[in-house]
Structure 1
Amino acid sequence: MTVIEALADACGPDHVWEAGPADTVDGVPVGWVAEPRGADEVASVLRFAAAEGLSVVATGAGTKLDWGLPPTHADILLDVGRLTGVLDYDADAMTATVAAGTPLRALRAYLLREGRRLAVDVGSPAATLGGVLATNEAGPLRHRFGTPRDLVTGVRVALDEGSLEQTVDGYDLARHVCGSYGTLGVITEATVRLQPLPAARAWVVRPVSTPREVQQLTEAMVASPLEPVAIEADLPGGAGGRPAELAALFEGDRATATARAESAAKLLGGGAAVEQLPPAWWGRYPFDADDVALKVWGRPSELFAAVYALRDAAGLPVPVRGSVGLGVAHASLPATVSPERLDGMLTAARTVLIARGGGGCTLLRAPLELRELLTGHDPEPLPPAAARLKLALDPEDRLSPGRAPDLS
């Protein structure tokens, strides 16, 4: 039986094809594409791939296939976009079990009718739940509710040999698959913790001049009793363009949200204003599809120093945006940046953060030809426990091979 025949037997002939020029994973060509309908079909594809020694890379909407490291090779691109829907909703427990290919937009619409939400507001508008979990992608709400890893209570995962598992002895599978970039298994469904939909929201927005000012104002906000749900900063980096801003979100009933935002405006001063809608940049990444994207993280009190280091090493404007209350931000550079300058920026920011108590600056996304000229700036490695789990579950590295930065 040929590969295409076996995949058609698993998924149906209308949902498999030999890959074309457009079927790549971050520039790496793919052999075949399969679109399973359910978890059992996902397992069938993995079972066949294991028997034939073929590698598999899973995808949902494909919004983050160019994040992290490209795979070393990709025989089968497994598209889980047909695994959709809310499989179970428990109003009392405030949880929902959702198929991995479900777009966050669709999940948001479903939960809206129930007066609930999943507190994940990522910057990839078309993302699926599975893709968000696989990359542990988070937005402004992480300040109060944490990342997806903190909101998942259970998962069902198709492992490399084709079994479907919800637990693995000795490991918290749900937490480890979040941020593993598909290297531990293919998520087919997840149970997530929900929150009540807030009755009202209000933002306070203040213009800022420097990263240092952002740090000082953020510390004042965090130390206050106002309990913002999110604190974000936007530092465009250019001269003469739109101003840099610090913004905080408050939620609750109308009176509470407005009162806290008004108190925050008084605390921040400097032209801070209460708004009923977020600033246009809120919850969006500072980079576009063709830009080089960096991730910077460290102690919130020291993040400003890394931003200065990036700008000094770049010698050009560096747009930075992110959750400054938690010390996590993203930066954008043009794709034309030279490898030498990019290497200097990454090294400078990382050196500053390590010297100031820990953190890092990594290359989240870049054109393949640029990435190949750099060494030592890979994304965050798998935590040690997850790396051990990878070696136990997929010792031949068939699932998203090479996308885990460190298997030691």
Structure 2
Amino acid sequence: MTTDTLDTAAREALSSACAQVDDPQEHDAVDGVRPGLVVRPSDTDQVAEVMRASAAHGLTVVPRGRGTKLSWGTAPSSADVLLDLSALDRVLDHAAGDLIVATQAGALLADVQRTVGEGGQRLALDETVPGSTVGGVLGANTSGPRRTATGTARDLLIGITMVRADGVVAKAGGRVVKNVAGYDIGKLLIGSGGTLAVITDATFRLHPLPADHRWLSVPVDSPTRALEVAQSVVHSQVVPAAVEVDWAAGSGSVSVLVEGRADGVAGRAEAVRGLLGSDATESTDEPADGAAYPWDVAATGDRRSIALKLTCVLSGLDAVLAAADDTGVTVRGSAGSGVLYAALGPDTPLDDVRTALDRLRRVCGDHGGTAVVVDAPAAVKAAVDVWGPIPAIDLMRRVKDQFDPDHRLSPGRFVGGI
């Protein structure tokens, strides 16, 4: 079977499984790989039917939400069926009294926030890529500034519905925050890039909307100063919601978010000003770049920036920023939790990309972290090791074999060709 055409029997089976089956358009390509068909189910049952039909005909399947991160990772080795989940777009339930929300995977994160916001609550996940769906956030495990205080999706997810590669519907967790029964399959699916199962709905715990908040920012002119400021805040008693660093060409800024009760925020903001020094500024406005990554998420094809994810312990922040200076890399991210995002321009010569990646991997590795290529033009992905060393790769392959023994879900999209 090729990704360009599917036989008549396979098309008929998919059409019987799902009301809407279309031929692919140019924008349906998955990191340059054109699917054979685009299938748009409307609920979990139809997703299961599509997966059963695909299994029966030996078809590979790539799930998609709104397509904002389809070029992340590596290109699939095959994409017979593009499983478009955008019609699964409803917020199923907002139980404000229990601080939980249940939503379908294709729902826009912004729509979920509006719904729960009407009840004075929020899902503490930053929208780092505009137009992201709940399923896309889970599959890519994206995170933004507020992960310093509230963690990532793994810390907020309490229940999930998924469809296995063979079409079996399975559930994990539930609607209770203190749910500890069985294996935490939901956390395993987060960040798996659609390679283990298709997520169709999820339940999260919520937080109250803060009554007040302040952003405080100070310019920093050296990696050492950036580390000093970040450490002083993280190790203080102010309990920051975010500690962000922006860095480019030898200078940048550290920004701190405090939020909560109005009286408490005022006092904590004053304490932060004392830590940042006389150059600190204060505002209730979100920084201009907000939670956005330091690359152009709208760029496509050969005009895509080389997007990187860098992790390190807090004490290694200065070394990572110094390496970024030496290699021409722009950095933005959560200094408070050691998760940074970086970018090189799309016209960066391949030799310079290799040099930068090697240097950053050495430095991040020396400080307990890694450097991964999140996104890049095809020529760059072909020339470098996108993922770098993966110590647990054998275990990850065994997990893939258990969930998807025929390797039909997003084949080749994840580390080690998983």
> TM-score, normalization: structure 1?
0.93
Does 2:15 match 1:2?
no
Does 2:208 match 1:227?
no
- Which residue, out of 322, 325, 334, partners 1:308? 322
What is aligned with 2:261?
A: 253
Structure 1 SS opposite 2:238: coil
Structure 2 SS opposite 1:352: helix
What is aligned with 1:50?
A: 55
- What is the count of residue pairs matched by the alignment? 398
Structure 2 SS opposite 1:92: helix
> Which amino acid is the alignment partner of residue 361 of structure 1?
A
> Would the aligned equivalents of 2:310 and 2:364 in 1 still touch at CA under 8 Å?
no
> Which amino acid is the alignment partner of residue 258 of structure 2?
F
What is aligned with 1:33?
A: 38
1:92-130 Cα shifts (integer Å, max 9, x gaps): 321111100000110011001111110001311210000
Provide the rounded CA distance (Å) in 2 between the counterparts of 1:279 and 1:167. Answer: 37
> Which amino acid is the alignment partner of residue 403 of structure 1?
R
CA 1:270–1:282: 2 relative to 1, 3 Å = farther
> Which amino acid is the alignment partner of residue 269 of structure 2?
A
Provide the rounded CA distance (Å) in 1 between the counterparts of 2:405 and 2:318. Answer: 41
> Which amino acid is the alignment partner of residue 298 of structure 1?
C
What is aligned with 1:365?
A: 375
What is aligned with 2:354?
A: 343
Structure 1 SS opposite 2:332: strand
Does 2:339 match 1:328?
yes
Structure 2 SS opposite 1:30: coil
CA 1:382–1:281: 2 relative to 1, 3 Å = farther
Matches of residues 231-246 of structure 1 in structure 2 within 5 Å?
A: 231-237=243-249, 244-246=252-254
Q: CA deviation at 1:273?
A: 1.6
Matches of residues 69-84 of structure 1 in structure 2 within 5 Å?
A: 69-84=74-89
> Would the aligned equivalents of 2:90 and 2:103 in 1 still touch at CA under 8 Å?
yes
1:261-309 Cα shifts (integer Å, max 9, x gaps): 1220121104102211122122111111321101100111102212222
Does 2:416 match 1:406?
yes
> Which amino acid is the alignment partner of residue 313 of structure 2?
R
- Which residue, out of 276, 296, 311, partners 1:297? 311
Q: CA deviation at 1:2?
A: 3.0
What is aligned with 1:272?
A: 280
What is aligned with 2:192?
A: 180
1:67-104 Cα shifts (integer Å, max 9, x gaps): 11221111111010000112122233211111000001
> Which amino acid is the alignment partner of residue 415 of structure 2?
P
1:320-349 Cα shifts (integer Å, max 9, x gaps): 000001111111111111222111111111
Provide the rounded CA distance (Å) in 2 between the counterparts of 1:98 and 1:376. Answer: 32
Provide the rounded CA distance (Å) in 2 between the counterparts of 1:404 and 1:279. Answer: 33
Moved more, 294-303 or 368-377: 368-377
- Where does structure 1 lack aligned partners over 5 or more consecutive residues? none
What is aligned with 2:5?
A: none
> Would the aligned equivalents of 2:88 and 2:104 in 1 still touch at CA under 8 Å?
yes
> Would the aligned equivalents of 2:371 and 2:388 in 1 still touch at CA under 8 Å?
no
Q: CA deviation at 1:55?
A: 0.5
Does 2:24 match 1:19?
yes
Provide the rounded CA distance (Å) in 1 between the counterparts of 2:362 and 2:220. Answer: 26
Alignment root-mean-square deviation, CA: 2.0
> Would the aligned equivalents of 1:116 and 1:196 in 2 still touch at CA under 8 Å?
yes
Moved more, 303-312 or 33-42: 303-312
Moved more, 366-375 or 49-58: 366-375
Provide the rounded CA distance (Å) in 2 between the counterparts of 1:43 and 1:380. Answer: 32
Q: Kindly, what percent of the aligned residue pairs are identical? A: 38
> Would the aligned equivalents of 1:346 and 1:377 in 2 still touch at CA under 8 Å?
no
> Would the aligned equivalents of 1:381 and 1:406 in 2 still touch at CA under 8 Å?
no
Q: CA deviation at 1:379?
A: 9.0
> Which amino acid is the alignment partner of residue 216 of structure 2?
V
What is aligned with 1:285?
A: 293
> Would the aligned equivalents of 2:109 and 2:127 in 1 still touch at CA under 8 Å?
no
What is aligned with 2:107?
A: 102
Provide the rounded CA distance (Å) in 1 between the counterparts of 2:210 and 2:398. Answer: 40
> Would the aligned equivalents of 1:364 and 1:379 in 2 still touch at CA under 8 Å?
no
Provide the rounded CA distance (Å) in 2 between the counterparts of 1:150 and 1:381. Answer: 24
1:346-388 Cα shifts (integer Å, max 9, x gaps): 11111122233x2111111000122111136459687776543
Structure 2 SS opposite 1:359: coil
Provide the rounded CA distance (Å) in 2 between the counterparts of 1:374 and 1:30. Answer: 25
CA 1:200–1:183: 2 relative to 1, 3 Å = same
> Which amino acid is the alignment partner of residue 251 of structure 1?
E
Provide the rounded CA distance (Å) in 1 between the counterparts of 2:53 and 2:43. Answer: 16
Provide the rounded CA distance (Å) in 1 between the counterparts of 2:228 and 2:242. Answer: 16
1:133-170 Cα shifts (integer Å, max 9, x gaps): 01111111100111111110111001000011014996
Provide the rounded CA distance (Å) in 2 between the counterparts of 1:76 and 1:37. Answer: 16
Provide the rounded CA distance (Å) in 2 between the counterparts of 1:296 and 1:277. Answer: 27
Does 2:103 match 1:91?
no
